[in-house]
Structure 1
């Protein structure tokens, strides 16, 4: 027999003190309830009650949660989870005062990066105090739920060590400043430990914590010919969801996540892939490239196809390309060397001009003679 949903199980009433109330996560949020000498996870399916929970935590009030569902925790056999459903209610009885256990809700102590690097078993989430050393890469990526989100990778360091930190979504970060960063996930990829923000991550500026470990990710700039390209494109709806089975010739495109039909012209089409680069000396270099770098050298027509982009890259002249951690971060025309002529070649036909009291304004050539770099444009 299938297990009953929380809404159909026996209703209960519990009392306790709320702490660790999370931000709203889509259609729910969670908290911790101190009750009867133990702690229970509370999952709240009424986002409209978030402010009441937040105020109860802030004022340290004893609360009663009525008509809730209790069931054994999936994380511990000795604990009970509390489900606060759409028919549940909360009331505040009194201020908590001295009974509140401050030690439980205190923010976890910031761990040192060297400890994370040396741990055999990595914790799922940690908090750190770290200095932002360098921006390594800036772009976008599709996450597990199909959203296309901005992503910046930084090198961060404390007084004991350094590692990479991936910041998802927009955050106000300044290179060279120290931050307290809570609830970041720890990952091991190809033997390298790195950090990544989560939906619960908070980033707060803090005073300097000392002299951070010296580290700088090397950046290489090479003059090279583009001898190969493999470029792919994504289709993203206006609400940043990845689309599948898209036909741009159709007047509208349906997004399953949004449950909405959009104009084809409203669909975002970012490109990414890799280029094979042949330097003047040395072996071929294969480097990743993302949409921002692609559009810095090519004016992409809305109807451009994957093959259009590839042909345009192959047709480019030798370029000056800057690479960091195998990712292209900048592409430019190769600087032209100024031609130096000997004195004999310099024209000696310039004759002195008599001084005149009349002055004439030189003609204004406007932007016609601008030497500013121009992107290549291509069409089908």
Structure 2
């Protein structure tokens, strides 16, 4: 049986969308970015927070780069695709030039989906854009997150032309149901998870 992960010698391209350093459920620090390759964009997860400044500078300077000793792992967001995993053993260098140029258009690996699309393919951890109507506030409370932290949460009923589901906003932020807002529509980038056996 083959491993779901495999080594790849190197990848070349341009760095985009470097995130802030985050902390996972196991308290391991990481950040994400997007690698613009010749014919595609690939999500990167970097488990080497001390290199955060290097990635930021590469994006800001639009520098062509080579990343060696990486790992390809099946993507949680795009079925059939792979994410690039970078760790302390990976080697980062700037290269003189590439056969393609830095893409100045904003890139996102998050796609617009309808609520029925999400219900038909409720894979956890996928990130999607939705445009929805806020119907009503359903529930306020607090719960322990997967990272073992107690956080406030508020649940709302949302809908579009295809379906209705609940969305949970974590932390102290809330959604304003504005009767003066045209059609009361909001655009969100959300992560699909199952909370208390309900799709959120």
Q: What's the TM-score, normalizing by structure 2? A: 0.65
Larger strand fraction of residues: 2
Question: Are the counterparts in 2 of residues 72 and 78 from structure 1 also a CA contact under 8 Å?
Answer: no
Question: Are the counterparts in 2 of residues 69 and 82 from structure 1 also a CA contact under 8 Å?
Answer: no
Q: Greater CA radius of gyration, 1 or 2?
A: 1
Q: 1:154: Cα distance to partner?
A: 0.9
The answer for the alignment partner of 2:103 in structure 1 is 100
3-state DSSP of counterpart to 2:192 = strand
Q: How do residues 1-380 of structure 1 correspond to structure 2 at under 5 angstroms?
A: 14-26=11-23, 27-35=29-37, 37=39, 41-57=43-59, 60-65=62-67, 68-74=68-74, 81-85=84-88, 88-91=91-94, 93=96, 98=101, 100=103, 105-106=107-108, 108-117=110-119, 119=120, 121-124=121-124, 125=126, 126-176=128-178, 177-187=184-194, 194-195=199-200
Q: How many residues align?
A: 180
Residues 72 and 163 (structure 1), Cα distance of their counterparts in 2 relative to 1, 3 Å cut? closer
Q: Deviations over 1:35-94 (max 9, x none)?
A: 4656655332332433442453355431233xx423453559996844242784454756
- Please give the alpha-carbon distance, in whole angstroms, between the structure 1 residues aligned to 2:171 and 2:133: 19
- Please give the alpha-carbon distance, in whole angstroms, between the structure 2 residues aligned to 1:185 and 1:123: 7
Q: Deviations over 1:102-126 (max 9, x none)?
A: 59x3454422224434x2x424322
3-state DSSP of counterpart to 1:28 = strand
Residues 85 and 41 (structure 1), Cα distance of their counterparts in 2 relative to 1, 3 Å cut? farther
- Please give the alpha-carbon distance, in whole angstroms, between the structure 1 residues aligned to 2:150 and 2:10: 42
- Please give the alpha-carbon distance, in whole angstroms, between the structure 1 residues aligned to 2:155 and 2:33: 30
Q: CA RMSD in A?
A: 4.0
Residues 36 and 72 (structure 1), Cα distance of their counterparts in 2 relative to 1, 3 Å cut? same
- Please give the alpha-carbon distance, in whole angstroms, between the structure 2 residues aligned to 1:58 and 1:35: 17
- Please give the alpha-carbon distance, in whole angstroms, between the structure 2 residues aligned to 1:175 and 1:90: 49
Residues 183 and 57 (structure 1), Cα distance of their counterparts in 2 relative to 1, 3 Å cut? farther
- Please give the alpha-carbon distance, in whole angstroms, between the structure 2 residues aligned to 1:145 and 1:122: 22
- Please give the alpha-carbon distance, in whole angstroms, between the structure 1 residues aligned to 2:57 and 2:133: 33
Q: What's the TM-score, normalizing by structure 1? A: 0.38
- Please give the alpha-carbon distance, in whole angstroms, between the structure 1 residues aligned to 2:174 and 2:56: 25
